[in-house]
């Protein structure tokens, strides 16, 4: 058995080969960090997900509060997610 992104899974035209594999249709990762000094939050959380809409997988970001020192901090999170979701 092999686990594949859903696009690769469906690209396989032979049904018997698909039966031996598993496709990932949706992936969500919750990242956490300590709260910053301006909030009363002990922990901040950001959720990044990717879901296939039938044409492609799109990345969605959701958070109530997530502090960054530079735009590179956020870019690093997105790069990490894309690597784990095999979107690179």
pLDDT tens digit sequence for 14-67: 666 667 788 788 899 999 998 876 656 689 999 999 987 777 788 999 999 898
Q: Which domain holds residue 38?
A: 25-88
What's residue 61's pLDDT? Answer: 96
What's residue 73's pLDDT? Answer: 94
Q: Residue 1 falls within a domain, yes or no? A: no
Q: Residue 87 falls within a domain, yes or no? A: yes
Q: Residue 14 falls within a domain, yes or no? A: no
Q: Residue 18 falls within a domain, yes or no? A: no
Q: Residue 54 falls within a domain, yes or no? A: yes
Mind giving me the DSSP string for 30-72?
A: EEEEE--TTSS-SEEEEEEEEEE-SS-EEEEEEEEE---SSHH
Q: At 13, is the secondary structure helix, strand, or coil?
A: coil
What's residue 4's pLDDT? Answer: 77
- If one counts the domains in the chain, the total is 1
Q: Residue 6 falls within a domain, yes or no? A: no
Q: How many CB atoms lie within 10 A of CB 1?
A: 6
Q: Residue 42 falls within a domain, yes or no? A: yes
Residue that wins the pLDDT comparison between 8 and 32: 32
Q: Residue 5 falls within a domain, yes or no? A: no
Place of tokens 């018997």: 16
Sheet with 57-65, edge to edge strand ranges: 26-34, 43-52, 57-65
């Amino acid at each position: 058995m092999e686990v594949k992104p859903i696009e690769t899974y469906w690209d396989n035209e032979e049904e018997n080969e698909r039966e031996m594999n598993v496709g990932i249709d949706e992936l969500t990762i919750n990242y956490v960090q300590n709260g910053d000094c301006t909030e009363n939050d002990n922990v901040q959380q950001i959720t990044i997900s990717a879901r296939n809409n039938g044409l492609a997988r799109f990345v969605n970001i959701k958070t109530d509060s997530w502090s960054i020192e530079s735009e590179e901090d956020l870019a690093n999170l997105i790069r990490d997610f894309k690597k784990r979701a095999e979107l690179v």
